[in-house]
Amino acid sequence: MVQVPGGVPDGVVFTDLDGTLLDHHSYRYDAALPALRELDRRGIPVVLCSSKTRAEMAELQAELGIDGPLIVENGGGIFAAADSPWAGLLPQRHGGLPARVFGTAYPALREGLAAIREVFGPGVRGFGDTDPAGVAAWTGLPSRQAELAWQREFDEPFLWDPEPATVDLGRARQRLAAHGLQLTRGGRFWHVLGDNDKGRAVSWLLERWRDAVGGRPPSLGLGDSENDLPMLGVVDRGVLVERRDGTHLAPRPAGVMTVLGQGPVGWNRAVLEWLESLAVV
């Protein structure tokens, strides 16, 4: 039987980053520190689950001082460090690391974006159409982080100007479907991706975890955008945090909760409330 740290923990947290654990504007997580410290004290793993690249997420994970698998680029892949105790859960190797890959290779995503641009014109611009300096200008990230964000493997973020009407979304999805691809929306960007999403990766990891240790821990998922909904739908408790404009994503599926407080403020509140509901605080 594959071993992971501590057997079955009291719980596990799956979290989006931008606009959720990280502030939408500053990318800071200070307001979430009380809950992060309590999770660490209780030995409850935090699994980062984002549209960010594995290069970005590995750096942030080290800064946060957390250890666990990373679900990268909208569920395109799950990765662990080669020496991580979680590595045994992942049956493949990708980029020299233990992995489970679900996503489509980046060149095929670029072809899909080109198919959309043929219909909607030059206002459709992806990360592959610019350089790290352009990504920094679009995102407000420092140059080093923009360089890491530019290193795409399974997901192509893009700007769409002007914003599409509902009929345009239908046409774009049809074009992408002809390439075996799909479209979703994050906090800042639209995304072209393959047959993957955050929910599929989270479900796979939870089942693999159950098979390895003989039990599935209670799970919490936190996000703020459309691309988070598949993840929020497969955990035991899914929570939408307040967005930068003071609203919550709508409509939301039945069973998905909301919490007041933008980004890491709401994240902190939701995690502490969940811990209280588990009677572990």
For the segment 223-229, the average pLDDT, to the nearest whole number, is: 96
Output the pLDDT for position 9: 77
Indicate if 211 belongs to the active site: no
Question: Which pLDDT band, with edges at 50, 70 and 90, does 7 fall under?
Answer: low
DSSP state of 226: G
Break the chain into its structural domains and give their ranges: 12-103+197-277, 106-193
CB 191 within 8 A of CB 154: no
Q: Determine whether domain 12-103+197-277 maps to CATH 3.90.1640.30.
A: no
Shared fold status for 12-103+197-277 and 106-193: no
Q: Which residues contact 28 (CB under 8 A, 6 or more apart)?
A: 22, 264
Element (H, E) at 170: helix 166-177
Amino acid identity, residue 24?
A: H
pLDDT digits (tens, 9 = 90+) for 73-113: 999 999 999 888 889 899 999 999 999 999 999 999 999 99
CATH code given to domain 106-193: 3.30.980.20
Question: Is the model's pLDDT at 1 over the cut of 50?
Answer: no
Output the pLDDT for position 36: 97
Distance between CA atoms of 159 and 138, rounded to whole angstroms?
9
Q: Which of 10, 16, 155, 245 is catalytic?
A: 16
Q: What are the angstrom distances between the C-alpha of 274 and each of 11, 184, 221, 224, 280? A: 10, 28, 10, 17, 9
For the segment 222-246, the average pLDDT, to the nearest whole number, is: 97
Distance between CA atoms of 254 and 33, rounded to whole angstroms?
29
